[in-house]
């Protein structure tokens, strides 16, 4: 939201007030916070204190490298929930200090400090490294304030606020060359400078400025991040109102955010994970290929069996089979009852496809809505399980399902009923849940069961509740390391409930690139695991797009074939072309490659969880923050810390990519290239630029390995890529348990070979 017309004028119909002075600085008794009383005009005499608004700026040391800033106009305004669930693993207890010098009053929180300018009439709060090595950002003149809409013509009008909207805003400075990234799964330009961004969950596909996953966190190339502590609608002008500032605004009387100092982006995400949480441990079977029925296709048990038997005959193992919407009866979504006409005995059906070895696990599609055609609707409405209007009616809409209602997750009894529905699915043989939708949450004329809830804040927060409830139900049934979702909507903290996928994309190369940008941005918000609809959701992909998307999708942390009104088994895409470059052989090769990578991937997954990092898709800037080019790369990514991949978006296989400083080895050919520089290559469908970073100890399954779950320490290949003494690889088993560390000693000798079993081999690829 913009408040000004250029630098000088207010926007018509808007009145803004800015903090001009820092009149008093009050220390909190525990020495961890400063409270700044900031009049909206310069106070040069006692008379100037009358008929004058103030903004209070509270600055608090949270833990090492993290400081919070809260701007408030009127303290009497209620700060209704819901509120983000912060510090889920506990809050660190770090020291803080306050000092005064000729430079001003400084609050320090370990490595990060905030210094308030000593001159009362100079509004300047500078955030900097405590050791003085780096100035991060500042709040300068006309950077903190509030706004009214419409503009009042007299102060007396504001004694009745019912006809006015009130906004709080702050503006942090942008330095020359600084870039901004994150803010959820955003499909536009990777660098957000110059953009207006609204954090408001919406079902808008992947080709607009809307997003399913709006996360109120952004990462700066200058060594800091900002987490905005509200699930409310947040509007950001990122160098788009004032080109040298990031403006954050929210409706209400309070605005709180945390500034997180790295200095490296990995350090920032680690600290952000302390605030909002890190991903749960995810099972190794989930890394295998997921096959879906697709959305509106016509299918029954016979169709499902034909898909799975066809994949087995083509030597493409399917780890998870997913039943999308029409496992349910039409108009009944989502009452959790299999359509009896298509699936008369679902428990036996699911048992058969597992015991025959066609598939290991089963996933079903759900959403938090309930169509009124279902007999369950009347019961849920009578018991108060559905969201109501202010007059007591059940809130209903015909958008999506006729007369549908929305589950009210603020009602404990509704949650208990919903979890009971999950348990019955688990009893039937369901192992995982696709938690679709959860974005179109109404905010007007609604009354939640918890009457303290602010409906506007509930809009984004609903996704967190929805996924938390389902994820914890899975944990309670299958164990903490076996729970896995396939979620679409998210907000800050939802990374705790993996995994997420990128939503409805078209079957085009442009949509591939959009999806990749979305994954990169979401990963920079602490989401460790992410997937995409291989082949694109909307439309029927031509064979070349399907195959290029297969390569991208199998290098994501998780891989699912899914579409809208057409199947995604490979033989339906290219008339069962059996050539080496056909869809079937291409899918088989990339599926097998991912299986071989599992010892590396699952070890890197543990590290990603611990650090609050994305596994894949990982933005280049996380690994190479000192390389300025890395902050602009949005057509390539890292898989963990050691593999670089560049998807191909052209039928002919031409691709341009960037290798940072160092020696890089082509995974497929062994060719070595040195960076930093750009390269061009041309590939068939069974390869792409996949390069191994120097000083990498890469543990792989043997070439015959096709499944993702096996012994990651037995019959493996250990490849040494330009390694020096001290290079390491951490070993885990398929349950995620640590098995020790391989380390390179003198002359490429491997310390810890006793950890390897069976016919394991060591190869010096380059040295």
User: What residues are labeled active site?
Assistant: 436, 439, 504
632 by DSSP, 3-state: which?
A: helix
CA atoms within 13 A on the CB side of 198: 10
Q: How many CA atoms lie within 13 A of 439 on its CB side?
A: 21
Task: Please give the Cα distance from 500 to 494 (Å, whole number).
Answer: 9
Spatial distance between the Cα atoms of 1 and 240, rounded to a whole number of angstroms: 10
Which residues, in sequence order, are bridge partners of residue 38?
A: 55
CA atoms within 13 A on the CB side of 652: 5
Residue tagged 């699952």 (tokens):
602
Backbone phi and psi for residue 570, each to the nearest 5 degrees, phi listed first: -65, -30
Distance between CA atoms of residues 708 and 601, nearest Å:
10
Secondary structure class of 61 (helix, strand, coil): strand
Pairing of strands 654-666, 690-693: antiparallel
- Sorted by sequence, the CB contacts under 8 Å of residue 201 that are 6+ apart come out as 211, 212, 213, 214, 438, 439, 441, 459, 460, 463, 489, 491
Task: Count Cβ atoms below 10 Å from residue 95 Cβ, excluding itself.
Answer: 12
- Which among 755, 670, 744 has a CA at the least distance from the CA of 711? 755
SS3 content of the chain, % helix, strand, coil (to 5): 25, 30, 45
Residue 395 is given by DSSP the state P
* Residue matched to tokens 């909507």: 489
d(CA 553, CA 556): 5
- Computed from CA positions of residues 326, 472, 233, 114, in that sequence, does the dihedral angle turn out positive or negative? negative
d(CA 347, CA 334): 18
Token representation of residue 280: 């749960």
Q: Any idea what DSSP says for residue 231?
A: S
- Ranges of H-type helices in 245-401: 265-276, 301-313, 346-355, 375-382
Q: Is the dihedral of CA 368, 369, 375, 377 positive or negative?
A: positive
- DSSP labels, 426-484: HHHT--EEEE--------SS-B-SSTTB-HHHHHHHHHHHHHHHHHHHHHHHH-TTT--
Q: Which two tokens stand for residue 573?
A: 């895409």
């Amino acid at each position: 939201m913009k408040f000004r017309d250029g630098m000088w004028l207010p926007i018509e119909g808007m009145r803004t007030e800015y903090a001009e002075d820092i009149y008093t600085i009050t220390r909190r008794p525990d020495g961890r916070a400063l409270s700044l009383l900031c009049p909206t005009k310069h106070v040069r005499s006692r008379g100037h204190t009358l008929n004058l608004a103030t903004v209070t700026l509270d600055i608090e040391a949270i833990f090492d490298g993290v400081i919070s800033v809260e701007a408030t106009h009127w303290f009497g305004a209620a700060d209704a929930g819901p509120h983000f669930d912060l510090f889920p693993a506990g809050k660190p207890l770090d020291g803080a200090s306050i000092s005064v010098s000729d430079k001003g009053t400084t609050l320090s929180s370990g490595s990060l400090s905030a210094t308030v300018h000593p001159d009362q009439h100079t509004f300047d709060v500078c955030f900097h490294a405590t050791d003085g090595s780096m100035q991060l950002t500042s709040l300068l003149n006309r950077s903190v304030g509030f706004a009214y809409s419409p503009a009042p013509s007299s102060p007396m009008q504001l004694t009745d606020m019912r006809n006015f909207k009130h906004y709080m805003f702050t503006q942090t400075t942008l330095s020359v060359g600084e870039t901004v990234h994150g803010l959820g799964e955003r499909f536009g330009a990777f660098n957000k400078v110059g953009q207006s961004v609204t954090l408001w969950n919406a079902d808008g596909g992947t080709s607009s400025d809307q997003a399913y996953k709006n996360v109120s966190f952004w990462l700066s190339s200058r060594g800091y991040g900002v987490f905005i502590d509200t699930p409310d609608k947040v509007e950001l002008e990122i160098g788009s109102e004032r080109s040298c500032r990031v403006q954050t605004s929210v409706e209400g009387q309070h605005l709180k955010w945390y500034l997180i100092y790295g200095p490296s982006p990995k350090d920032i995400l680690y600290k952000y994970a302390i605030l909002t949480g890190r991903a749960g441990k995810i099972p190794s079977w989930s890394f295998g290929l997921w096959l879906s029925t697709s959305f509106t296709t016509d299918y029954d048990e016979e169709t499902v069996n034909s898909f799975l038997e066809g994949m087995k005959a083509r030597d493409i193992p399917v780890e998870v089979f997913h039943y999308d919407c029409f496992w349910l009866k039409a108009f009944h979504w989502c009452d959790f009852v299999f359509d009896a006409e298509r699936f008369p005995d679902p428990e036996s059906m699911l048992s058969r496809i597992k015991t025959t070895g066609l598939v290991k696990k089963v996933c079903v599609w759900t959403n938090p809505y309930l169509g009124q055609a279902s007999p369950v609707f009347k019961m849920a409405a009578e018991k108060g399980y559905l969201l109501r209007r202010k007059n007591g009616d059940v809130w209903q809409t015909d958008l999506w399902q006729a007369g549908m209602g929305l589950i009210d997750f603020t009602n404990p009894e509704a949650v208990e009923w919903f979890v009971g529905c999950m348990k019955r699915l688990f009893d039937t043989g369901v192992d995982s849940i696709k938690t679709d939708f959860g974005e179109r949450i109404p905010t007007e004329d609604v009354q939640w069961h918890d009457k303290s809830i602010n409906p506007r804040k509930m809009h984004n927060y609903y996704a967190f509740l929805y996924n938390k409830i389902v994820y914890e139900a899975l944990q309670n049934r299958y164990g903490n390391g076996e729970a896995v979702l396939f979620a679409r909507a998210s907000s800050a903290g939802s990374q705790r409930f993996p995994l997420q996928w990128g939503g409805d994309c078209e079957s085009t190369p442009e949509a591939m690139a959009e999806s990749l940008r979305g994954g990169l941005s979401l990963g920079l918000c602490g989401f460790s695991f992410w997937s995409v609809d291989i082949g694109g959701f909307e439309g029927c992909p031509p064979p070349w797009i399907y195959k290029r998307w297969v390569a991208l999708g199998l290098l994501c942390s998780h891989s699912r074939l899914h579409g809208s009104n057409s199947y995604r088994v490979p033989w339906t895409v290219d008339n069962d072309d059996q050539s080496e470059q056909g869809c079937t052989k291409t899918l088989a090769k990339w599926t097998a490659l991912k299986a071989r990578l599992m010892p590396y991937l699952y070890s890197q997954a543990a590290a990603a969880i611990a650090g609050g990092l994305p596994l894949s898709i990982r933005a280049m800037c996380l690994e190479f923050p000192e390389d300025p080019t890395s902050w602009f790369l949005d057509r390539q990514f890292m898989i963990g810390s050691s593999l670089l991949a560049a998807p191909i978006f052209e039928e002919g296989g031409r691709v341009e990519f960037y290798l940072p400083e160092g020696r890089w080895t082509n995974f497929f050919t062994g060719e070595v290239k040195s960076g930093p520089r750009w390269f061009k290559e041309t590939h068939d469908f069974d390869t792409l630029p996949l390069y191994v970073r120097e000083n990498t100890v890469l543990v792989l399954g043997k070439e015959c390995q096709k499944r993702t779950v096996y012994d990651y320490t037995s019959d493996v290949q250990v490849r040494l890529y330009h390694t020096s003494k001290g290079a390491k690889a951490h070993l885990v088993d398929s349950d995620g348990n640590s098995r020790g560390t391989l380390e390179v000693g003198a002359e490429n000798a491997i310390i810890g070979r006793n950890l390897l079993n069976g016919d394991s081999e060591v190869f010096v690829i380059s040295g």
